[in-house]
């Protein structure tokens, strides 16, 4: 199945940046990956992002990436939108992987800002990069801004220009800065999909009019993320904020304090298959596991399902 630039325009709802379970020997556990999708299909998610930051994507080979894409497209429930992270350091490689993802049925590609030569990633360079990718991609693309990992924060000016390109339909901003998210929103057209990338600011982002989020927390607590949006959309703002407040310590634990290993252990505790991390990442020790379990328990999440 080949992607189409007309296949998707408007995004809404919650998407998990899907974790990649590994076996103890470091191989991808594709069966566990599929079982996670089967359970996520039961939640009210709008779709999936395969090959996000929480997927340990930098540690995957191209063959592994393409297999994970194929499995996601194959196993995703009807009406779920499948996105794939295809951003690589060179423009040429990004276009290549994006179009391979398109051939496998992905609706749109999330393209990470190049960052190895951070000092040379000026507005002019990034505008040229994303424009070239969008011109040659077989599916629409979204910009992925994640300063935590790239140590680069795209400017509102670059986003303003890029948001006018018909092949660039949105951006995921994972800076976790609500003021910055508002600054981006002011300069893009209403048709541009601005996605929140941190569950810690989900409710404030919804208040800004953001309609979609790609959230690490949605791997292990998808129902909570979906419920926050549903409560907000039905005018139950106090309840939405109370649930948001409960989830903030969980999100901090799995994205900052304990990282990928913490996210995977949280998923395992909550009935998903986190699997092992891939080296050079290391698993959590028992003390940290106990601390994480307590955080999940205080948040009211159902451990041991």
Instruction: Give the residue numbers annotated as catalytic, written as ranges.
Output: 172
Residues 98-128 as b or e (16 or more Cβ within 10 Å = b) = bbbbbebbbbbbbbbbbeeeeeebebeebbe
pLDDT digits (tens, 9 = 90+) for 179-196: 999 999 999 999 999 999
- 133, pLDDT greater than 80: yes
Give the residue-averaged pLDDT of 121-130. 97
- CA separation, residue 128 to residues 109, 122, 131, 159, 204 (Å): 17, 10, 5, 12, 32
- 128, pLDDT greater than 80: yes
pLDDT digits (tens, 9 = 90+) for 224-272: 999 999 999 999 999 999 999 999 999 999 999 999 999 999 999 999 9
Question: DSSP assignment of 129-175, as one string?
Answer: HHHHHHHH-SS-EEEEE-HHHHS----HHHHHHHTTSTTEEEEEE-S
Q: Is the peptide bond before 176 cis (omega within 30 degrees of 0)?
A: no
Give the residue-averaged pLDDT of 82-103. 98
Give the residue-averaged pLDDT of 116-127. 96
Q: Counting every residue, how long is the chain?
A: 305
Residue 9: band (very low, low, confident or very high) from pLDDT cuts 50, 70, 90: confident
- 305, pLDDT greater than 80: no
pLDDT digits (tens, 9 = 90+) for 277-304: 999 999 999 999 999 999 999 999 988 7
Give the residue-averaged pLDDT of 31-49. 98
Residues 224-241 as b or e (16 or more Cβ within 10 Å = b) = bbbbbbbbbeeeeeeebb
| Contact (Cβ atoms closer than 8 angstroms) between residue 118 and residue 83 | no
pLDDT value of position 1:
36
Residue 2: band (very low, low, confident or very high) from pLDDT cuts 50, 70, 90: very low
């Amino acid at each position: 199945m080949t992607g189409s630039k007309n296949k998707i325009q408007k995004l809404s709802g919650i998407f998990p940046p899907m974790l990649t379970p590994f076996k103890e020997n470091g191989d991808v556990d594709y069966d566990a990956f599929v079982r996670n999708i089967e359970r996520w299909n039961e939640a009210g998610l709008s779709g999936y992002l395969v090959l996000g930051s929480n997927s340990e994507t930098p540690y995957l080979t191209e063959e592994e990436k393409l297999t994970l894409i194929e499995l996601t497209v194959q196993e995703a429930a009807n009406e779920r939108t499948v996105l794939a992270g295809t951003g690589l350091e060179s423009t040429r490689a990004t276009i290549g992987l994006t179009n391979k993802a398109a051939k496998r049925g992905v609706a749109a590609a999330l393209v990470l800002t190049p960052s190895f030569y951070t000092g040379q990633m000026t507005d002019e360079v990034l505008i040229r990069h994303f424009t070239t990718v969008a011109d040659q991609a077989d599916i629409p693309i979204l910009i992925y801004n994640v300063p935590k990992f790239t140590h680069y924060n795209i400017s509102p000016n670059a986003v303003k220009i890029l948001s006018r390109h018909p092949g660039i339909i949105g951006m995921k901003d994972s800076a976790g800065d609500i003021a910055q998210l508002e600054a981006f929103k002011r300069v893009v057209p209403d048709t541009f999909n601005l996605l929140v990338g941190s569950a810690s600011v989900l409710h404030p982002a919804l208040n800004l009019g953001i309609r979609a989020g790609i959230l690490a927390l949605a791997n292990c607590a998808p129902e909570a993320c979906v419920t926050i949006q549903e409560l907000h959309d039905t005018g139950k703002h106090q309840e939405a904020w109370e649930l948001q407040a409960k989830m903030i310590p969980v999100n901090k634990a799995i994205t900052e304090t304990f990282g990928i290993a913490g996210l995977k252990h949280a998923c395992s505790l909550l009935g998903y298959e986190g699997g092992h991390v891939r080296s050079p990442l290391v698993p959590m020790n028992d003390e940290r596991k106990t601390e994480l379990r307590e955080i999940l328990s205080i948040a009211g999440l159902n451990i041991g399902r």
